[in-house]
């Protein structure tokens, strides 16, 4: 009898060990891909493509290309996440100074002096720092800052531009919780997506947007972590959402 019990204990020990190993391996396989610690390229197009690949093409990811200066014309790009930044800072403290600070007859200075002039004399934001690593710049975007990339430079400028919803976000009246924060999806669409961005600062977070409701044209987002969620399941969810043909979507219960 004692021998039988010992054999059973060994069997369950081996089974639990194999289950634990398979569980650990599955966790490793579903881990989101890490952003490489590599430097930016001097090509603006290549850097924009890199950021688009890392952050995805969600509707709140903004990569705005523009030109400024006169002799010669300089190309740049602003990268930020809508809902995490202040639109007033983007317009008044970044875009307007960049496009108006260089006169019609002014020749642009050398590269090093050019960056220093932008940092110290042009940009009106309170905090501007240089960084040349992709992972650090991506993390700055996820925290609500704006990244300025300039063609021909392998350094990016991180500009402080945080400006998300300041007032208290209330708890849904019909979906209360006993523990945890009392924040809920009671706001407009962009505020709700920014709530998720603030809680999950991961570049693998994707928000695939679609419009449902023939009369209301309601914005709906399928939110998931790339590399963790099953792609087949995501496609199936999207297909089901696209098959919904109703006049209005007023809240999640309609779906």
For the stretch 141-195, pLDDT in tens is 999 999 999 998 889 999 999 986 655 555 555 555 555 555 556 668 888 888 8
Residue 17 has pLDDT above 80, yes or no: no
Q: What is the pTM of this model?
A: 0.77
Residue 26: the pLDDT is 47
Query: For residue 57, which of 81, 85, 83, 31 has the smallest C-alpha distance?
Result: 81
How far is the C-alpha of 70 from the C-alpha of 103, rounded, in Å? 8
Phi then psi for residue 115, to 5 deg, are: -65, -45
Among the residue ranges 35-49, 53-67, 87-101, 169-183, the one predicted with the least confidence is 169-183
pLDDT digits (tens, 9 = 90+) for 200-219: 999 999 999 999 888 888 88
């Amino acid at each position: 009898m004692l021998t039988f019990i010992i054999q059973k204990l060994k069997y369950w020990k081996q089974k639990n060990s194999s289950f634990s190993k398979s569980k650990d391996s599955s966790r490793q396989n579903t881990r989101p891909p890490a952003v490489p610690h590599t430097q930016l390229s001097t090509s603006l197009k290549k850097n924009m493509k890199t950021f688009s690949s890392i952050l995805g093409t969600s509707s709140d990811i903004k990569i705005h290309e523009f030109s400024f200066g006169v002799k010669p014309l300089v190309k740049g790009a602003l990268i930020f996440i809508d809902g995490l930044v202040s639109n007033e800072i983007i317009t008044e403290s970044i875009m307007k100074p960049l496009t108006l600070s260089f006169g019609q007859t002014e020749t642009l200075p050398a590269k090093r002096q050019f960056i220093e002039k932008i940092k110290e004399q042009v940009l009106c934001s309170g905090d501007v720092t240089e960084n040349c690593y992709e992972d650090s710049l991506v993390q700055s975007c996820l925290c609500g800052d704006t990244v300025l990339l300039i063609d021909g430079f392998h350094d990016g400028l991180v500009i402080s531009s945080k400006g998300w919803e300041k007032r208290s976000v209330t708890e849904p009246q019909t979906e209360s919780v006993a523990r945890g924060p009392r924040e809920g999806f009671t706001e407009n669409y962009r505020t709700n997506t920014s709530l998720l961005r603030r809680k999950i600062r991961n570049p693998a977070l994707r928000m695939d947007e679609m419009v449902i409701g023939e009369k209301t044209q309601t914005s709906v987002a399928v939110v998931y972590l790339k590399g963790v969620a099953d792609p087949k399941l995501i496609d199936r969810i999207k297909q089901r959402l696209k098959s919904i043909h109703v006049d209005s979507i007023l809240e999640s219960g309609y779906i």
